[in-house]
Structure 1
Amino acid sequence: MGQDEDTKVLHSMGYAQELSRRMGAFSNFAISFSIICILAGGITSYPLAMGTGGGFQATVGWIVGGVFALVVATSLGQIASAYPTAGGLYHWSSILGGRGWGWATAWINLLGLIFVVASVNVGVWLLFRDLVLAGVFHMDVTAWTTLSTDPLPAGMTADQVAANNNHAYLVQVIAVSLITFCQAVCNHFGIKLTTALTDFSGYLILVVAVVLTAMFLIWGASWDFSRVTTFVNNTGEAGGGYVPEPRTALIAFLIGLLYPLYTITGFDASAHTSEETRDARNAVPRGMIHSVFWSLVFGFVMALSFVLASPDMAATAKDGANAWFNLFNNLPAPQLLKDVIAISIVVANFICALAGLTSTSRMIFAFARDGGLPGSSVWKRVSPTWRTPVPAIWLGAVLSVAATLYSPAFAALAAGCALFLYVSYAMPIAAGLLAEGKTWTEFGPFRLGIWSKPLALLTILGVFVLMYAGIQPPFDILINYAIGLLVLLVVLWFGIESRRFKGPPIGAEIAKRQAEIAAAERAVGEAV
């Protein structure tokens, strides 16, 4: 299947080939692999694993969460093969479950994608501050670091700590805004630049993960594998208060699954860039599945090295948010090697969020193209020069920064990312479960056969478990997001959108769009 066939498939779904189809199979894999980025969540969320179930949670829990992510990616891959469009989840839910289901999927997916960019960029700043500014250049970053009030730092009053924390928050807002601005600029100037960066990131993540793992094993490993087989409930004070209230072992394990599930998410980027990928019906499902599989494998080995290199498991758990940083900073490896790895980790995280912004902008573009957003006529525009959805890119950037203003804490943003994205993943899968063999009769080359419905059921069950874990303290702030979003969606749908929103084109509407498709393609084609 070549590019002409890709365009033909897109036309058959009622859409013009406005975006530039420059991505090959590896690039489609790389953009999801870059968003997953085991050097992002695999490091910044490591304290969550230690603060719930210790070494067992970080390793066995990683396998459990990673296998579940692979199930979800496989189920989504079957749908992506049938409907290779930008904003895939929204389009799939609309076709398989109806306009309202698709409209709700779009908003939940969009919120999850905004949380991806927001959480990773907060992580970029924290990593840059602690690994590069403090670790490489030996700067004092205390004034840019949030300090604990219980107990108060030695020699400081409560007012001084509050002033310091307000200053640290302001610095974080400025830093995250600048980081996001740079990512938006890269996205603005064409998919070719973004693809080059994410391709590079794919190789960078693999190399750095291997070297980082080797460093922990060579200079720190205790080779005490009992740490992997022993579950230690570190909720409460034992885990540095990362999960502040003591919980049962089962609940602790479920909360700890947010470690792999926050990390191994965002793989829908392969679907969101379907209209920029050659041979999309084959490349997109492979891109999603392979990105999850290799992240599962390399991430497990990397997490295992962290666990084996801990000099004292109880002390590491007690370190809370600083658990991984203390391990890395105290590792007796050559300083030059540590400096290079530290800078590489920050670069990989930057590109991770950059790819996340690419995915977010394509979701905004696709939803606006069907009239799903306020001001859709603006957000659906494609630059004839760069062949990118420029207004959607900048809207995604602004919204992601705004998310950090309401919830500046990394842990809450990370949990929100996992929760909302996996709910949005389950929605088209659930619709497909009910539609398969009935209204859904046209499939792509990637099929699950007899495994389709069992995997769909497993996805739905797993997402309900994740929803329960995702609203436990300290992530209970997400209840406000969830309730607010649910109420807003119900009011908007039954009050306005059920009458206004038409959804993606189907049936005779596709034929009516052919003149518009031709005009849209001429508009961008004349400028290329």
Structure 2
Amino acid sequence: MSTTQSTNPAWSEADQADADQLRAIGYEPVLSRRMSGFGNFAISFSIISILSGCMTLFGFGMATGGPRVMVWGWVGVTLAVLLIGLSLAEVTSVYPTSGALFFMAHRLGGKGWGWITGWLNMLGLFGVIAGIDYGAAEFIGAFTGMAFGWTPDKYGLIAVFAGVLLLHGVLNSFGVKVLDLLNRVSVWWHLLGVAFIVAVLFVVPAHHQSASFVFSHYANSTGFKSAIYVSAIGLLLTGYTLTGYDASAHMSEETAQASVLAPKGIVRSIWVSGIAGLVLIVAFLFAIQGGDDNYATEAAGSGYGGSVTAPSLIMIDALGQHWAEILTLVIIVAQLCCGLAAIGSAARMVFAFSRDGALPGSPTWRKVNRSAVPTNAMWLVVAVAFVLALPSLWTIQAYGAVTAIASIGLAPAYVIPGFLRARQGKNFKKGAWNLGKWGPLVGYAATVWVVIETVLFCLPQAAPGTTALTFNYAPIALVAALLLSGVWWLVRGRDSYAPPAGSVEAEQFADLDVI
């Protein structure tokens, strides 16, 4: 049964303009355009989720440079990420499609650029979902330990993680209106939740750290001696947290006035998250009790990184168990909202990549259900995210590696469209939202940062970095994804991968079956 449709007389003028722009790009509308501009911003803001990334990697930050790197690294990396977002937003205005990054790269640089961008984007999205939902499972385990005396072992944690993924998959099956509503709730939960947590951390504790500790204290529990090296890998806290804003682009086929509101959603989600995240980090650092270096070591938890234990220890020490339980629940709800939005975004990307014939089994992954949701693609995302987290059963370094996978997959995919746009210079045909004469400079500057970031997050995160327990397997995952994409390209991809070159007839996509 076909889901394609011709011009709908019930559509508003704005809806019709969106549909016409999509057809001019080369796609017939098949998804339901029910998402508002605020909802588009909300999904990116929810995926960035400072209450997810900041909290789950807080212990990692305490071990890799401590407060000094956490605060000033956050400021610096936020500005760098904003450059990436500005550049991506400008290209999104011209090509507001679910495929987003890979389609932009294809149009601006050719088929090969589109192919590699799509595979990197997909790898990063799988990694970010595994990181978000595994982090949520860790916090659920911390809460059950405080409230009920049950702290899950590694097998129990994987089971909780699987349950979280399953919940997100089911909720994502109900259509974009449900996703839009939940993302709106998520924005206010994050903003009010951060305000509540910060207020409690400043008002309740009898003792606070000095400003000198918060803004200049250095701590190192990695085993490496070089402060420069340790500070560099410590930037992962911000680099991982400030990802996922490509969701605004992936949801553009379901957003009204997408050529303007999707770019705005990207940029707004970054700067709002940057400000709120800085406030949150500073509040937790001020609330730290006890000795400086001793606490930094304790916060690292059992084994290196112990990312979930640091915020829990801070809240218990500073506030007592009752307050710690309440604030942990606030964090858990935010993390669940984050994972829900991330799976929705990734499903659209996999759907769009399959629509263009890029994946093994593309006819299966590009199908949509009666609510116009790509459910097959969504369940594929859930399954791969689960597999990515399985190494946590054998190595304490797994969570850091998963977050690194997200960063080294997403960051290059984000910047390639901006780099290709910069390379075109004045020949680039700007959209309704653009950077004017600053576009090329912003694109090149963002590219320089991403090259540095990608190298940093492939480095060992603990010494010695070559043992089975401490090895950073993120580069292995990156190489494996690139090898798979290369093999599939040679076997079939170069023939099956066929993004539209321009305006097409609706019949070209008549085989997008409803399931």
* TM-score where L is the length of structure 2: 0.89
The count of corresponding residues between Structure 1 and Structure 2 is 480
For structure 1, the 5+ residue unaligned runs are 145-167
Distance apart, 1:200 and its partner CA: 0.5
Match of 2:161 among 172, 176, 186: 176
1:287 is the counterpart of 2:265? yes
d(CA) in 1 for partners of 2:225, 2:93: 42
Distance apart, 1:174 and its partner CA: 1.9
1:138 is the counterpart of 2:162? no
Match of 1:55 among 60, 67, 84: 67
| Higher mean displacement: 363-372 or 63-72 | 63-72
Pairwise mapping of residues 203-352 of structure 1 onto structure 2 (< 5 A)?
203-220=188-205, 222=208, 224-234=210-220, 239=221, 243=222, 245-311=223-289, 312-319=291-298, 320=300, 321=306, 322-332=309-319, 335=322, 337-352=323-338
Q: Please name the residue that 1:356 is paired with.
A: 342
Opposite residue 177 of structure 1, the aligned amino acid is A
Opposite residue 399 of structure 2, the aligned amino acid is F
Pairwise mapping of residues 85-234 of structure 1 onto structure 2 (< 5 A)?
85-130=97-142, 132-135=143-146, 137-141=147-151, 144=152, 168-220=153-205, 222=208, 224-234=210-220
Asked if the contact 2:62/2:219 (under 8 Å) is kept, the reply is no
Match of 1:470 among 424, 442, 457: 457
Asked if the contact 1:14/1:514 (under 8 Å) is kept, the reply is no
Pair 1:494–1:431, CA change in 2 (3 A): farther
For residues 303-357 of structure 1, the C-alpha deviation after alignment (integer angstroms, 9 at most, x for no partner) is 011111112331231021222221012222682x543332221111011011110
Match of 2:500 among 486, 498, 505: 505
Opposite residue 339 of structure 1, the aligned amino acid is E
Distance apart, 1:140 and its partner CA: 3.3
1:380 is the counterpart of 2:358? no
Distance apart, 1:471 and its partner CA: 1.4
Opposite residue 192 of structure 1, the aligned amino acid is K
1:45 is the counterpart of 2:57? yes
d(CA) in 1 for partners of 2:421, 2:489: 22
Asked if the contact 1:42/1:299 (under 8 Å) is kept, the reply is yes
1:31 is the counterpart of 2:43? yes
Pair 1:5–1:24, CA change in 2 (3 A): same
Distance apart, 1:520 and its partner CA: 7.1
Query: Secondary structure at the residue paired with 2:190?
Result: helix
Asked if the contact 1:215/1:333 (under 8 Å) is kept, the reply is no
Opposite residue 150 of structure 2, the aligned amino acid is D
Identity %: 30
Distance apart, 1:229 and its partner CA: 3.6
1:369 is the counterpart of 2:358? no
d(CA) in 1 for partners of 2:450, 2:376: 32
For residues 67-93 of structure 1, the C-alpha deviation after alignment (integer angstroms, 9 at most, x for no partner) is 111111111000001100002001111
Asked if the contact 1:85/1:273 (under 8 Å) is kept, the reply is yes
Distance apart, 1:224 and its partner CA: 1.1
Distance apart, 1:360 and its partner CA: 0.8
Pairwise mapping of residues 425-504 of structure 1 onto structure 2 (< 5 A)?
425-438=414-427, 440-441=428-429, 443-474=430-461, 476-498=472-494, 500-504=495-499
Pair 1:410–1:2, CA change in 2 (3 A): same
d(CA) in 1 for partners of 2:326, 2:145: 14
Asked if the contact 1:407/1:413 (under 8 Å) is kept, the reply is no
Query: Secondary structure at the residue paired with 1:2?
Result: helix
d(CA) in 1 for partners of 2:284, 2:327: 15
Distance apart, 1:53 and its partner CA: 1.5
Asked if the contact 2:357/2:493 (under 8 Å) is kept, the reply is no
d(CA) in 1 for partners of 2:225, 2:43: 37
Opposite residue 61 of structure 2, the aligned amino acid is A
Pair 1:72–1:309, CA change in 2 (3 A): same
Q: Please name the residue that 2:508 is paired with.
A: 516
Query: Secondary structure at the residue paired with 2:319?
Result: coil
Distance apart, 1:406 and its partner CA: 3.7
Asked if the contact 1:426/1:460 (under 8 Å) is kept, the reply is yes
d(CA) in 1 for partners of 2:65, 2:481: 31
Asked if the contact 1:97/1:435 (under 8 Å) is kept, the reply is no
Distance apart, 1:231 and its partner CA: 4.8
d(CA) in 1 for partners of 2:81, 2:113: 22
d(CA) in 1 for partners of 2:292, 2:284: 10
Asked if the contact 1:94/1:503 (under 8 Å) is kept, the reply is no
Opposite residue 196 of structure 1, the aligned amino acid is L
Distance apart, 1:424 and its partner CA: 1.1
